[in-house]
Every structure is written in structure tokens, then in C-alpha cells.
Amino acid sequence: MIRILLVFFFFVNFIAEGQQADYVDFKKAKAAIAFGDLSKKEVGGTITYEFEILQNTDSVYVDAVAFSEIKYVLDETIAGSLYNGKHLIIKHPFKANTNHKVTIAWKTSPKKAMYFIDWGFEEGNKQIWTQGQGKYTSNWLPSFDDMSEKVEFDLSIEFDKNYQVIANGKLTNQQINESTITWHYDMQKPMSSYLVALAIGKYKKKVEKSKSGVPLEMYYYPEDSLKLEPTYRYTKPMFNFLEEEIGVKYPWQNYKQVPVKDFLYAGMENTSTTIFADSYVIDSIAFVDKNYVNVNAHELAHQWFGNLVTETSGTHHWLQEGFATYYALLAEKEVFGEDYYYWQLYEYAQELLEQDTLGQNTSLLDPKSSSTTFYKKGAWVLHMLREQVGDKAFKTAIKNYLINYQFKNVETDDFIREVEKASGKNLAGFVDDWLNDKSFNYSKCYDILKNSSQIISKLDVLESELLFSSHSPNFSLNRFIDKATYSEIKKLIFSKELITLVEDYDIYIKAFSTKDLKVRQAIAINLTEIPSELREDYETLLNDKSYITIEKALFNLWLNFPQERSKYLNKTKGIEGFNDKNIRILWLALALVTEAFEPENKKQYFDELNNYTNPNYNFEIRQNAFLYLQQINACNSVCIENLKQATTHHSWQFSKFAKVMLEQINTYKK
């Protein structure tokens, strides 16, 4: 027995080194997925893998983390259940150049990667969705943590017939059962396991076709039909642009986008099926301040950069995130224009400069680099590389890179070789300066921006004049707002730093008279002490088509002019704001602490605010409600119980917030 255990543990240590790909190639998978007790988060089923043995070996394995039940049948005859809590181990004297099938039956209640939303409550937006980024799919589906193991996954999912089921690939059939439907999805090309996805909920969808004929499926909640267009605005033009710009046809059968409640990130680029946070489901007013366009373009770009070609390891993570950031920016340039594009690059550069100043910059090839480095420095590297080798060579290299490495895993050298071939240039110096060097060459990037963009060139001149003139006794900001033709530059004039230099109100009068929502918003955010001479102009901000502007203006006006509080509350009474109800929740808090305002409705308003802490609501709404209840010292026993429940939420940011607030309340009580 001791010898058997030693062999077993040796095997466990060996497979942890990730060497299995040298011995076996898993090619196809057919999974039949079903759900048990949803309140207990039970999922199970069977999955059959077809695989080829590349070298003689006495075992292969499939990753499966903390499954309650799991067993296999190899080649329809040999049964086994050797399982160590992380791997299902299939013992057999496998011979090179032979093909096999293994059918795995399993049951589990996953701790991560598959999330069961609102099934423990009578109300709420009941959903199930997955998030396998990295190596987490093996928490609910017997699969492969190794990104280099690419498999063609076909999923069949049985679920309550009152719900929609969305998964990777093309829906080929819906089998109608007595109380359920079995949804059959087919994939035609292989992918890494972390990109396997499903989403279950109550949805409707709109389908359009790209210029090349790819179906674009846009899902939405039935009650959000009026938000469909602003949420998915520019989807089709951006899809068409990226296919043309990249030079390689979209590699999958269709493209689906699905909003879900309480998602962990902004979005996730599962193969052919992007899942994104429903906080990006917005109306036309919200579009001004918070829209889905960049996330939409970013996750779409990943369908090529990340899904078609996949990094070998975190060392080369920029090949996914830097590329997706860069191509998303190119897509946004197509719809918003060049000024937008260069301004975004400018803001990326400012962020990277700040990171450099703090000594936090790292090499782009450091697997422990920050998101800012992988995403924004990665995008800048591609912009600079294109400047160096030229547009034609760059686009040729991108196309060859994707074609030569499609459905494979890549390293940075693979990409650089393609650029060197296409351009005829030796890029060793470029790699040292931009990929290996920890610092960010801000001055060179800024010079490129000044030469490329009139907006950045004008900003440079204005900043120089401002720096010189601000020390002059005759300094006035007035003439600068006339020179700043771009709204983003005008916003800078109303930054907190410059507002202290304002000695007269003419500049505000000019700004209030503009129709530029972003400039007016900058005043709402930064001018928090409102002179009485500007009150009437400031009050016009409450009419702006911007939920951020209204929120900031309401609070600042309420604070500065106590005698007018009821007027401001009546003006904004029916406004909800973003999906997190930013304006409504602020309004309720202000209504409760404004003594003379509707005393007969105080209980109703408190109950509404308190109710927003309930788990039925998304965590953004709950967090806003918790914050305001704490600020007005009104977090009662119901609020505290909901806060305790929030400490176990699957979003670590929200659970951390709840724990900190609960500790603060307990400390205050002591």
C-alpha cells in the first residue's frame, strides 16, 4: 500500500509540471450538462473526450477541482475513478499513435467559475453564468487548466424551459422535453478550456449580420428593450472594421453578447460568446458618460487575439491584452474619430508616466506586471511598432501571425519574427527598449503624439503658456478657454488645480453657455463651493443629459443653498440614473435628511433606500445604498443583516467593502 501511495503522489507531482501535452493531444469533447438542486449550486453530467497518444505513457489526466463525484469509462470498456481532488487520472498502458475515447461522469457544487445568481431568493434576476479566465473552468467541468490543450467543445445543456441557454458555438437544435429544453451547441474549431462558457437567464435577442455574413446575436433582458440600441451601439460597424483592419476573417461561427448580473469584470471574451456586466446596459442619456463601446470592441478583438492565438503563459500576456486594447482603440477611432484616438493614447501615457514616477513600472514581459502595463503599455508598444515599420508591413505581419499560429499558442518572439519578416527590419533594439525595459519612454511617445495630432500639439502649447502665464500678475484663464477647441482640453481648465486660479466669473459664464456636456460636467464635479452669483447658471446643470452631471450638481446645490433644497429635490424626483441608481439613491438620502421636505413620506423613502441593500439587487445598487445609509447614520438591523450577507458575495471587491463597513459600524457601536 505504501508503494502504491508513493507512485500515486509521484504522479501527482509530475502532472503538476504541466508536461502532459508532450504525451497526449485531446481533440474533441461532447458534453451533456444538467443541473440538480440550484439552491445548492449542483451541476453535473457526462463529457466524452477523443484523444490521441503522442508518446507511450501509463496514464493521462483531466483537471477537475473538488468534485463530489467523478468517474470514467475508457474506450467503452475500462472503468475507473482514480481522483486526487484536482485530477481525474486515467491509468492505462497507452501506446503512441493510438486514438481513444474517455467518457467522464461527474457532479459538483463549484466554489468558483460557475455562479448561481438569486436562486436562494423568491425574487431577483435568476441566472447561471460562467467565468473561466485563467484556469478555472475545471471547477465545474472536467477540462484542462493548460491553455495549450485546445479542444473542440460541443455542449448540450438541459434546463427549465422558461429560461434561455446560451453557450459557445452555433445552436443546432432545441429538444423540447416535458418541463425542460435541451440546448445543443456546436463548435467547429478548438479552443482553450478557460474560454468555455454558458449563460442562463431570461433574455430576448436581436440578430444582425456582419458584412461578411457572420450572425451577431445581441441579448438583453425583456424589460430593457429601449436600452438595446444604446447598449449595443456601433457593434456592427466595429465588427466590420476589425475584420477588415485585421485582415483575417472572424474565426468562429457567430458572435454572441450576453449581459449578466454581478459579473466579476467588465466583460469576458469567451469564444464566440462574450459575457459582460449588465451595468453596461444603458439608455441614451447614460451613453454620454458610461457606455459599452470600448468593452464591446475589446472583447471582440480578443476573438482573434487570445482565442484564435493564445499566449503560452503570463509572460506573454500582452499578446492578448495589449492587442485587444490597441484594436479596440482603433475600432473606437473608426466611430469617434482621430481626436478621440489620440486623446486616449495621451491618457494612457499619463497613467503610465504616473506609474513610472512611482517606480511601479515593470517589463511588458514580466508575468507579474500590472493591468496598466499589459493593457495600456501593450497598446502603446503596438502603436510605436506600427510607426517604426510602417502601416503596410505592420498589417502584413498581423495577418501572417494570425494565420500561421491559428488555434495554437504563441510567445512574443513568434510575433516579433513575423514583423521582422514583413518589414525586413531587425527589431532587437525595439524589443529591448519597449518590451524588456521596465521604464516607459514618455517623452518619445509624447513627441509622436504632438507630431500626429493637432489636438495634442495644441495642448502642448496651451500647457506651456499656462505654466508661464500663471505666474504673471495679469494672468487670466479666460483667453485659454477660447483657444481650447477640444472639449477634453477645456475640461482640464476646470480641473480642481486650475479652479483655484479663477478670480472672476466670466470664464464660468462662457462655460455655462456652451452645449458641451463634458465641459459643463467638469464644472459640476470640480466647482463644489458655488458662489451665489453663479447659482442660477449652476442650476441649469440639473437639465443636462448626463447622469454624472445631475448627481454632482444636485449634491453641490443641496449643500450650498439650504433654503432651496426642496426645489432641487422636486426637480430631480423621478430620475433613476445609471443601472446603479446613482441619482435615485442620492435623492432618497437627501430627502430623508431634509427636514422640511415631505415629512409624510419619510418612512416610504427610508424603506425604499433600505430595500436597495437587499441581495435581489445588483451589488452596485447595494453598495450605493449601504454607503448612503452609513453616511446618514441609518443602517438599521435589516441593513446590517444584508451587509453580513454581502461579506460572502462572489465579487471580492464588494465582499471586502462589506467587511470594512461592518467593522466600522461595530467599532462605532463600541
Supply φ then ψ for residue 14, to 5 degrees: -65, -45
User: Is residue 14 a part of any domain in this protein?
Assistant: no
pLDDT value of residue 667: 79
Compute the half-sphere exposure of residue 143: CA atoms within 13 Å on the CB side of its CA.
30
**Secondary structure of 567-593 in the HEC alphabet?**
HHHHHCCCCCCCCCCHHHHHHHHHHHH
Provide the grid cell at 243.
475584420
Q: Any idea what the Cα angle at residue 562 is, between residues 559 and 563, rounded to 5°?
A: 155
Rounded CA gap, 26 and 385, in Å?
A: 37
pLDDT tens for residues 611-657?
999 999 999 999 999 999 999 999 999 999 999 999 999 999 999 99
Does residue 461 sit in the same domain as residue 597? no
pLDDT value of residue 488: 74
Length of the chain in residues, anyone? Answer: 670
- Residue 374 sits in a domain of what CATH number? 1.10.390.10
User: What's the pTM value of the predicted model, to 2 decimals?
Assistant: 0.94
Run of H or E residues at 239: helix 235-246
Task: Map residue 131 onto helix, strand or coil.
Answer: coil
pLDDT tens for residues 74-117?
999 999 999 999 999 999 999 999 999 999 999 999 999 999 99
Task: Map residue 275 onto helix, strand or coil.
Answer: strand
pLDDT value of residue 445: 96
**Secondary structure of 610-621 in the HEC alphabet?**
HHCCCCCCCHHH
Percent of the chain residues past pLDDT 70, beyond the cut: 92
Distances (CA, A) of 279 to 112, 263, 286, 577: 21, 9, 11, 11
* Low pLDDT (below 50) residues in the chain: 1-18
- In one letter, which amino acid is 302? H
pLDDT value of residue 454: 87
Distances (CA, A) of 175 to 100, 127, 153, 156, 477: 29, 21, 19, 10, 69
pLDDT value of residue 638: 96
Among candidates 134, 131, 172, 132, which has minimal Cα distance to 155? Answer: 172
Does residue 210 sit in the same domain as residue 176? no
Does residue 352 sit in the same domain as residue 373? yes
Bridge partner list, 82: 89
Hunting for cell 463549484 — which residue is that? Answer: 110
pLDDT value of residue 165: 98
pLDDT value of residue 666: 83
User: Is residue 6 a part of any domain in this protein?
Assistant: no
pLDDT tens for residues 195-252?
999 999 999 999 999 999 999 999 999 999 999 999 999 999 999 999 999 999 999 9
User: Is residue 276 a part of any domain in this protein?
Assistant: yes
User: Is residue 8 a part of any domain in this protein?
Assistant: no
Tell me the residue range of the domain where 145 lies: 20-201
Kindly report each contact of residues 393-401 with a partner whose C-beta sits within 8 Å and lies 24 or more positions away, as own/partner: 393/419, 393/422, 393/423, 393/424, 393/425, 394/419, 394/422, 394/423, 395/245, 395/247, 396/422, 397/421, 397/422, 397/423, 398/246, 398/247, 398/248, 399/246, 399/247, 399/248, 401/309
pLDDT value of residue 504: 62
Quote the longest CA-to-CA distance of the chain: 92
- Residue 139 sits in a domain of what CATH number? 2.60.40.1730
End residue of a domain, out of 411, 433, 452: 452
> How many folded domains does the chain comprise?
5
Compute the half-sphere exposure of residue 253: CA atoms within 13 Å on the CB side of its CA.
14
User: Is residue 27 a part of any domain in this protein?
Assistant: yes
Does residue 83 sit in the same domain as residue 149? yes
